[in-house]
Structure 1
């Protein structure tokens, strides 16, 4: 724990106040739901691209990626390598599709295609995904700030949640996008500052990072063998491709941004700008993680307090110092990777710089949470409230529901973050939860957009089978040993891959079988 110097505290307060002022400034424009949800289609492509980049560059990236690189290697970077493939498909097919429909919700067209159940199912999956995303972001920011201020993580989440809710409710989507443009720049500069401080304070500098990393295999992208049981190169590549395809094709956070662009061309450009910025930026955070690993190999005594802290958390308050020390000596880097970056900030960053970097981490959290709140409120208003309760809403009432929804989802996301306190790896937790909820959404969407002959019954049957497969893959690992033969043998990141393919392929098979059956029946009648 460390009391923040006045200069750092002042920088953080100024940053938070600036975000609220931005929300107040844009609140004057929010006279309609179209302005609140899609900025009336007036945002340039480059700003949307920076906004999407800032959403990707969340505190899961800022803290989770260095923690992952510190604890293992660069296997998770394959996720970023998969992004261009997903972006190509999205820019060529998905962006024109959504711009043509004109629907602000990403899920309205599924009701036209398959019925109300399809829309309801994907909306539920999306909202659960958003709660998992916002919860992991809240948890990540609290994990960092706890080491700096010493307050309980739940208290930090509540204070931050109030600030984020305030500027998001006031400003709407236009405020979210323009603040994310600023936040994207702040985050990137903050990452470079952290890397400079690590390298500058380490004997041997970059050469030492390369030497230690090569010796301990820290730069590996994973095994290239066709092994889907472990986190190999191929497992992460397939996971990354499907989750990014879901992000660009089914996630309301991104679909809503397509509608804020002045044209389809500008919307497609924004995707490619995001990819061009995020891939090297994510590499930067892996370099930071590997540099921290090398740094604490040179200064092992400086990381001992983190090992002691993690051991104490595992054993509880009744454990003796001897028990804590014994457990601490057995801990591996992956057991405390997420705490390394906050520890370095606490102990090694000079006054002033620390405030700037904390502001960068705050911006990483705020951009993702604010966009998630706005998107969730939009989906709730369009796909739930107006669909099932009050189809005809006045403009004033529509805005009121959007405001209430934004606040409600901000509070729910905060509660999810509090519930996540104690997870081992921030990045792993987010990847696992997003894979579970996103698999069914993407499979159903691909079935609807690719196979025009698939009807309601085939899609519903395929979705039910897909949900069963996803649930089995997720929860069969908890079965007792005597039911070992029923356990999912694949890596947990394969849930979204298998879930998506199950719904899509089963739907195609049912459609093909039904068509053949009809043809044979017609021949028999003749």
Structure 2
């Protein structure tokens, strides 16, 4: 830990103040709920594309991806490779559907198809997914800033969260989008700055990095064997396709943006712009992780320092001997999330630290602000106005959105505080999002594709799907005598199996319901 130089502190404070100022600037336009949630449909497609890209490029990417590459390989990059196929499905089918219905909420359609229970179930799953996402991002940003400042992680979350709440509540969706445009540029520049610093400080340069990476199999995309019990290429590809389909197809964060553009064509262009930017830039973060691995392998004293830091955090009251003993047993996978913050503390020169921290802050703030706005919109439309007071005036609807945005911001902050001490922020996010999103996506696909499925079939399929998801998630906790009942598949398959279970069982029940055609009598 160290005290940040005045110049770096000035850059960070300037960035936070600027974000709040943007929210104050756009607050003048928020005269009604439509402006707050969709910016009245006047945002150009390129800005929406950069906004979606910035939402994808969260602090989970900024810190979690290099940590995964450092501790293992490029297996998680397969998630990015699945994006083009999911984007094609979304632009071909989902965007035209949403633009035609005109519904701001992604979940109103489910009530039209299957009844209020379906809409409520999807809303609950979405809100839980958002809490998991915001919490993991709060945790990621606090993890990095703690290493730089020495302040408690909870304190950092409160300070950063307050700034995010202020500019999101004041500015609404238009402020969120335009700040994300700026944040997308800042965080991309930050990634390339970190990459340059690591390579520049590496003895032997790129050739040495490649040699070490090849020797230790750091560039592998995973096994291509048809094995779904491990994080193989195919497991990550399937998980990535279904999760990105959920993101582009029914995540309120993205669906809400489709309504802020001027046309269906602009909305589709925004999705493809996000894909064109995110896939190569996410690769940069894997390259950073591999470069950091080579750097720390050639500087074993620095690697020992990281191990000691992690061991001290795991044994805060342990003796020096116990801490040293634990540190000696830690592997690269155990310290991955700590490496980039440690590199910034020890190797990044004064002046650049502030810029990189601003980039990490922008990575966190863009995703959290989007989650807050989308959660508030869903709560307002799908819960409050659906069940409590459907006849809200424009003034009261806007006030409700302000309060809901603040509430979900605070709840996300508390979720992040509860995550303090987890091993891998990226693994936690992938697990929680797969649990909550699997059932939601399966029900949505059933409603879109199977036009003859009725309420009873959909409800039955959803209940069975929930039971399958619960079993796959928690069966690993069963005692040894019941080991045969444990889920044999990798945890990322929860999303895939949960989605397919609801969809396929719904289709099967629909077919079983159809009466068989009467036999045709032939005339002799």
TM-score over 0.5 (shorter chain): yes
Deviation by residue 1:282-317 (Cα, 9 ceiling, x = unmatched): 000000000000000111101222101211222331
* Equivalent position of 1:332 in the other structure: 331
Mapped pair 1:226 → 2:206:
no
Distance 2:236 2:278 in 1: 17
Alpha-carbon distance in structure 1 between the residues aligned to 2:261 and 2:316: 52
Distance 1:407 1:522, change over 3 A: farther
Which position in structure 2 is the counterpart of 1:253?
253
Task: Tell me which residue corresponds to 1:210.
Answer: 210
Note the alpha carbon deviations across 1:345-364, whole angstroms, 9 max, x for none: 01111111000000000000
- Aligned residues of 2:297 and 2:303 also touching (Cα < 8 A): no
What residue is the counterpart of 1:93 in the other structure?
93
Q: CA RMSD in A?
A: 1.1
CA distance in 1, matches of 2:48, 2:408: 23
Residue in 2 that maps onto 1:473: 472
Aligned partners of 1:43, 1:204: CA distance in 2, in Å?
47
Q: Return the alpha-carbon distance in structure 1 between the equivalents of residues 519 and 367 of structure 2.
A: 54
**Aligned twin of 1:192:** 192
Matches within 5 A, 1:261-410: 261-317=261-317, 319-410=318-409
Aligned mates of 2:373, 2:52 — CA distance in 1: 14
Q: Map of 1:125-144 to 2, 5 A cutoff?
A: 125-144=125-144
Deviations 1:122-160 (A, max 9, x none): 000000000000000000000000001101101110111
C-alpha distance in structure 1 between counterparts of 2:79 and 2:519, whole Å:
48
Provide the C-alpha distance between the structure 2 equivalents of 1:467 and 1:322, rounded to a whole number of angstroms: 47
Q: What does 1:421-500 align with in structure 2 at a 5 Å threshold? A: 421-500=420-499
- The CA distance in 2 between the partners of 1:316 and 1:145, in whole Å, is 19
DSSP-derived class of the 2:29 partner: coil
- CA shift, 1:188, in A, is 0.4
Tell me what 1:506 maps to. 505
Match of 1:171 in 2: 171
What CA distance in whole angstroms lies between the structure 1 residues aligned with 2:315 and 2:45?
Answer: 51
Q: 2:471·2:487 contact (CA, 8 Å) conserved in 1? A: yes
The CA distance in 1 between the partners of 2:72 and 2:465, in whole Å, is 32
CA distance in 2, matches of 1:70, 1:396: 51
Q: Alignment partner of 1:309: what SS?
A: helix
Instruction: Classify the secondary structure of the residue corresponding to 1:7.
Output: helix
Q: Distance between the aligned counterparts of 1:310 and 1:282, measured in 2?
A: 26
Tell me how far 1:342 sits from its aligned partner: 0.4
| Deviation at residue 492 of structure 1 after TM alignment | 0.2
Residue matched to 1:70: 70
* Partner Cα separation in structure 1 for residue 520 and residue 183 of structure 2: 62
Q: Which residue of 2 aligns with 1:415?
A: 414
Give the 3 Å change call, closer, same or farther, for CA 522–473 of structure 1 in structure 2. Answer: farther
For structure 2, the 5+ residue unaligned runs are none
* 1:308-332: CA deviation from partner (whole Å, max 9, x where unpaired): 1211222331x11111111111110
CA distance in 2, matches of 1:522, 1:406: 62
The 1:44/1:522 distance shift into structure 2, 3 A limit, reads farther
Whether 1:243 and 2:238 are equivalent positions in the alignment is no
After superposition, the C-alpha distances for 1:378-419 in whole angstroms (9 at most, x for unaligned) are 000000000000000000000000000000000000000000
Q: Aligned to 1:140, what secondary structure does the other structure show?
A: helix
Structure 2 CA distance for aligned equivalents of residues 522 and 243 of structure 1:
47
Counterpart-to-counterpart distance in 1, 2:515 and 2:433: 37
* Partner Cα distance (1:316, 1:502) in 2: 44
Q: 1:263 offset after TM fit, Å?
A: 0.2
| Number of equivalent positions | 521
Where does residue 26 of structure 1 map in the other structure?
Answer: 26
